Structure 1
């Protein structure tokens, strides 16, 4: 009976041991989510609150943003005007006819529109004439306003963004012979989007409450409908579309779900038969990003770089020298794995102490894991020991020791000579 029970237990143990790896494999397959394939040539998802890039596809490739440009235009307008301000159409503004209010209403120079309705026209209907109206009103001239746009891009730390007009049109109605177009990247546009979203006026205009709204133009109401086809769906609480020949179909979306705020950008998607491809791309990357989990970037104990430390040969005095020491991370560092983070992630030591003697003994230090727009502190070690420093200067230390010994021997010899002379002098005296 005991033998039979033993055999049963052994069989059960072997079964569990053999099946365990497969169970782990199934669990891993269930938790690992593959990044979605999308039509857009470039895209990004960023956590609005932390700045972390969760999804990326060619997020640093420079492309045309089309009318998503208007997020920057609206942001500057919101920062310089009040909702009740009245704006006046000019002959310059009325030269802009592509996707403009003046295609739907008989507008003349001198006609007025409120700043609130102008904001609606730009962000909901994407009216180009009112984008130029914003520019003239804030900048005095359109070119002055474009300069303001580029200055603001610099303030946001954007290196790959350059504006030539406030609308995103690729043929500028005020300068049709120009071949310059607005340029940005998915990453830069996400940063612009976050800045705009953090403005209460902009955030309110693009919200689901304005999926259908009216504006007052030349004394009569005009109904406008949001071009954001997923507004109020999948957690989407706002966005800005754009469509141009070089830009393709673009969309910047804002999402709020499970206590997290995300911004998505899709550039150069195909418009498609229904015009929904860019929104389907957006839904895919937003859903993926809400479910994505961080992976190991560096394991505890990994070498993550090196640093040049300075020190004085005799610790507190002597010639100043350098030693290169390896940097190790003492804890697992996790990140969202994507092409942008793989290209830009770094772990570095930015502490003030750079003296090798003070850091000797493999003392723990604070390292910084960072990607553009995000950083966190992690524990690490700069591996440099007293023995390393002694080895690096061993010939000098041996020479110094030899000199010290010679000096001591000379001192002893001199002392001995003095003592001998003293003894001889005493003998003569007696």
Structure 2
């Protein structure tokens, strides 16, 4: 059985159709672009240059996970190739330290993709489910159009800089994706995990992955993804929920790594304290 991606109807229309309300006590946001929205209603609570096209670094991997789970089963097995390992090492990306020849399930690889932000895991998944990385990127862009993310273009499955030019998106588009991705139970479960370990088996050696998202552990925080390149700065797609209400947000091009987490925490606290638009 394939996973159904269920979200509130008309989410993108609400996100693009409403301006953020003005509040004097809004937390300071130093990143170049940001957004905070109510994922249930699609109402925008905070917006700063949310429609500006910018590189998004490893936030790209959220779309990779989302596209994979449109067709793959979590129990499907992927064989790690030497090209997957070399891609991450040669590109200078963060890795899950995958070893060529190991066989891991899609569900296991999602942890390697989302927690340590493994470019090797992204490459393995894209290569397998494109088929081929190029075919997979085509699927990513087609999915972006389906979701109404019209200011987004992906050039790879991981967000690393490319010689021909980086991909781009907007805080608004990434918030739409975050809301959709968190509606997929396995993505939400993975993104909310702080540490995940795999014991060695006949199929693979042991692995231990720690989540790069320092927001986790904050009451109510449920994810979602960190990112960094020199061009993109420090990025964060984040989410929190309480009493059945879920907020999602995105921060792009923050100059201080730690500040994106404190800002996200402050935005979530503030957002949960203000009333939704009527």
What range is the shorter-chain TM-score in?
A: 0.7 to 0.9
5 Å matches for 1:124-203?
A: 124-171=115-162, 178-203=163-188
Shift of 1:258: 3.4
Q: 2-side partners of 1:224 and 1:67: how far apart?
A: 16
Secondary structure of 1:220's match? Answer: coil
- The higher radius of gyration belongs to 1
Picking from 242, 264, 280, the partner of 2:249 is: 264
Equivalent in 286, 302, 310 of residue 268 of structure 2: 286
> Could you say what secondary structure the match of 1:276 adopts?
helix
Aligned residue for 1:227? Answer: 212
Task: Kindly state the Cα deviation for residue 33 of structure 1 after the two structures are TM-superposed.
Answer: 4.4
Match of 2:20 in 1: none
* Post-superposition offset of 1:293: 3.8
Deviations along 1:98-148, whole A, 9 cap, x unmatched?
21234xx6x23x332221210100011110011011111111110000000
Change (3 A) 1:88 1:228: same
Task: Tell me: CA distance 1:243–1:225, structure 2 relative to 1, closer, same or farther (3 Å).
Answer: same
Q: How many pairs align?
A: 250
Aligned 8 A contact 2:59 2:236 in 1: yes
Post-superposition Cα deviations, 1:55-74, rounded to whole Å, max 9, x if no partner, equal 11111111111101111000
Structure 2 residue aligned with 1:367: none
SS in 1 for 2:37: strand
Instruction: Give the distance between the partners of 1:293 and 1:52, measured in 2 at CA.
Output: 11
Contact 2:37 2:249 in 1 (8 A): yes
Separation of aligned partners in 1, 2:117 and 2:47: 26
| 2:258 equivalent among 276, 285, 290 | 276
2:90 maps to 1:101: no
Q: Which runs of 4+ in 1 moved over 6 A?
A: none
- Is the 2:31–2:251 contact (alpha carbons within 8 Å) kept by the matching residues of 1? yes
Q: Deviations over 1:267-323 (max 9, x none)?
A: 11113xxx31110121122222122246xxxxxxxxxxxxxxxxxxxxxxxxxxxxx
2:224 to 221, 229, 239: 239
The TM-score with structure 2 as length reference comes to: 0.85
Q: Could you report, residue by residue, the CA deviation over 1:62-99 in whole angstroms, capped at 9, with x for unpaired residues? A: 11111011110001112221222110122432321121
**Cα offset, 1:184, TM superposition:** 0.3
Deviation at 1:224, TM superposition (A): 1.1
Aligned-residue offset at 1:259? 2.8
| Offset, 1:179 | 3.2
Over the aligned positions, Cα root-mean-square deviation in angstroms equals: 1.7
1:212 aligns with 2:204: no
Structure with larger RCO (C-alpha < 8 A, sep 6+): 2
Q: Which segments of 5 or more consecutive residues in structure 2 lack a partner in the other structure?
A: 1-22
- The separation in 2 between residues aligned to 1:73 and 1:264, in whole angstroms, is 19
User: Matches of 1:290 and 1:53 in 2, distance apart?
Assistant: 12
* Higher fraction of helix: 1
SS of the residue corresponding to residue 206 of structure 2 reads strand
Deviation at 1:226, TM superposition (A): 1.0
Report the equivalent of 1:17: none
